[in-house]
Amino acid sequence: MGQETAGEAVDVEWVRADGERPDPLVERAPYLELALEHPDLDATHADGRYFPDAVPYRLDGERRVFYWRSVLPGGVRDGGAPGGFWATTHELRPLGAGTGGLAGPELSSADGDVHEVVVDGTVAGDSTTARVEGYSPPRIAVRSLDADSAVVAACDETVTVQAGGTATVEFPEQPVVPEGESGRVSVTPVLRARFPGERVVYHPPVGGERALFPSFGLDLARVPNPVAVPTAHGELDHGALADVLSVDLGSRPFAERTLWQAFAYAAFDPHREEPPRIRQTDGGLLVVANPAT
């Protein structure tokens, strides 16, 4: 859909989508992070995504976790504001808001007799995994979560993690068979719980494939249409795009520079097949209704 112009720029037309709804989720609530790791295993798979799902950072005194990619299932806001969130290597889950309250987090996945387990995990980011047979997932549940502490049940042990703290639970050793091999190996699953306390969680409008970004100081009303997207070797030059749109990346937090790269590709990738639909909320947040993938 782009038309190349002189100076290695590609004109990308876009659509102002002011009528798009619903609004993004922005909630201050307790935020718990959980990862179930298996360091005895050799990793055979890695998360191939270039950008993490979420970026934590502080801006104007606000400690936020910014999920730019949609990871919540539809219908999670039906019961009102969530009482908290837990985040794992596999999911983000709100507490309350029509979700049935507290329950067990997803920390591994299964396909028949084969489990994909985390070897080295990063919540909402890059994780390495291995596939094994004969694995028994440990019983883990979140019992309570408030601004001061999180209580996690791990098999026969109950662990309380105070705000700002971490906890580690080592489970009994068990034999498994790595996929593609015949011999058994022993693994000792390790639960790592981190509770930073309350955070402001940003998430795209629930449902669909929308993407959410901070304003970057950008006023959408001043963005030209089309945008002359600069390229280098035929690919988007996100730093030069910031200059074209008068965005001063040097004055933004480092984390927002990562989000800017994600925004540039989601909205103005010169190879996308249809015009991006973009709107700006009253609070300045940018929503791309049809992000390039």
Q: Which residue bears the tokens 């596939």?
A: 131
Same domain, 190 and 238: no
Residue of 15 and 206 predicted with greater confidence: 15
Cross-strand bridge partners of residue 65:
56, 201
Q: What 3 state SS string does 105-168 have? A: CCCCEEECCEEEEEEECCCCCCCEEEEEECCCCCCEEEEEECCCEEEEEECCEEEEEECCEEEE
With bands split at pLDDT 50, 70 and 90, how would you rate the model's confidence at 102?
Answer: low
Same domain, 50 and 174: yes
Mean pLDDT of the chain: 88
Using only the alpha carbons of the chain, give its radius of gyration. 21
pTM: 0.89
Residue 55 has pLDDT above 70, yes or no: yes
Which positions ≥6 away from 4 have C-beta within 8 Å? 10
pLDDT in tens, 131-185: 999 999 999 989 889 999 999 999 888 999 999 999 999 999 999 999 988 889 9
Look at the chain and report how many structural domains it folds into.
2
pLDDT in tens, 13-44: 999 998 888 889 999 999 999 999 999 999 99
Query: Would you state the pLDDT for residue 114?
Result: 94
Cross-strand bridge partners of residue 109:
116
Same domain, 66 and 186: yes
Distances (CA, A) of 216 to 105, 212, 246, 247: 33, 12, 10, 7
The answer as to whether 293 is a domain residue is no
Q: Give the domain-ending residue among 180, 203, 226.
A: 203
Query: Would you state the pLDDT for residue 80?
Result: 58
Same domain, 39 and 17: no
Same domain, 181 and 281: no
Q: Give the domain-ending residue among 203, 225, 250.
A: 203
Query: Would you state the pLDDT for residue 98?
Result: 43
Residue of 204 and 207 predicted with greater confidence: 204
Residue 8 has pLDDT above 80, yes or no: yes
Same domain, 149 and 58: yes
Q: Which domain holds residue 244?
A: 3-22+207-288
DSSP-assigned letter for residue 173: P
Same domain, 16 and 40: no
Same domain, 101 and 137: yes
With bands split at pLDDT 50, 70 and 90, how would you rate the model's confidence at 117?
Answer: very high
Hey, which bits of 6-138 come out as E strands? 9-12, 15-16, 25-37, 45-46, 54-59, 62-67, 84-87, 92-95, 109-111, 114-120, 128-133
User: What percent of the chain is modeled with pLDDT above 70?
Assistant: 90
Cα 14–20–26 angle (5° rounding)? 110
Residue of 293 and 199 predicted with greater confidence: 199
Residue 3 has pLDDT above 60, yes or no: no
Same domain, 15 and 159: no
Query: Would you state the pLDDT for residue 48?
Result: 62
Same domain, 65 and 39: yes
The answer as to whether 253 is a domain residue is yes
Same domain, 169 and 221: no
Same domain, 183 and 215: no
